[in-house]
Amino acid sequence: MSHHIRVITPIVSDLFSEAQLQPYATDSIRLTHTRIDKGPASIESTFDEALAQPDTLVKVLEAEEEGCDAIVINCLGDPALNPAREIVNIPVVGPYQASMHLANMLGDNFAVISVLDNVRLLLEHLAAKYSLSERYVGFDYVNISVLDLEADLDGLVKAMTEKSVMLIEGQQANSIILGCTGMLGCAQGIRTQLLDRGLDVPVIDPLVAAIQMAEAMVSSDLSHSHHAYQTPPEKDIVGYSFPDRKENKKTA
């Protein structure tokens, strides 16, 4: 029996397709994809993240209504992660949270290489929120916007390898997290180039880590604690429209 995991990309740009997910599907994982209809073209700041959240929550509710077993929010900023957990019963996984905990297990600390310096504070604050600041040993960026990541993937891998070397040798990073889910597919190339330099350090693709974490939760019959992520009180909400919920489900 396969588990249906919905990947929600919280931007309106046509930068990501369901076909890109299929290499990570297995006999036990069915992957489908959607993107938001209202929000930013990309997420490169806390402002962008705020704009992405309302429609991300709509897509989260729709995924549960359609019978999905788990949800992955396809952005390293984990936008709307906690609110999403409050309004559905199925697991909702954020790539950054999943990657940081995985990195901590693999190497006891981690560094992040992202797109722009704009996201530095966002990622540092999330590390603190997840109680992992002490394990966060470094940050660097390749100075390429999210919208331009696919223009030169070979060049991107080379640039990220050089940044990784500096973080490993300069900051004693024991694992590297790719700082944008738009870097999907780059981890193995970076890992290979690091091994060629004698640096045996894991490189974590955050979207892949989140998908596999979601599958582990579903396979283990686990979801988020409703004691921690409690259902929001019902009240009038002006200016937003959310899908109707079944009586036996949580309501937004």
Q: In what order do the strands lie in the sheet with 136-141?
A: 136-141, 110-114, 176-178, 203-204
What sign for the dihedral angle of Cα 84, 90, 95, 98?
positive
Give SS3 for 7: strand
Give SS3 for 194: helix
β-bridge pairing 136-141 and 110-114: parallel
How high is the mean pLDDT in each 10-residue block of the chain (252 residues)? 94 90 91 96 94 97 96 97 97 97 95 94 95 95 88 90 96 96 93 97 97 96 95 89 61 45
**pLDDT, position 247:** 46
Consecutive H or E run containing 122: helix 120-129
**pLDDT, position 156:** 92
CA distances from 104 to 37, 119, 231 (A): 35, 21, 30
Assigned CATH topology for domain 3-94+208-219: Rossmann fold (3.40.50)
**pLDDT, position 246:** 52
Q: What is the CATH number of domain 96-206?
A: 3.40.50.12500
Consecutive H or E run containing 138: strand 136-141
* Same fold: 3-94+208-219 with 96-206: yes
**pLDDT, position 1:** 74
Assigned token pair, 80: 């709307």
What's the CA gap between 54 and 205, in Å, rounded? 26
**Domain boundary assignment for the chain:** 3-94+208-219, 96-206
**pLDDT, position 241:** 83
Predicted TM-score (pTM) of the model is 0.92
Q: Which residues contact 121 (CB under 8 A, 6 or more apart)?
A: 46
State the CB neighbour count (10 A cutoff) for residue 39: 22
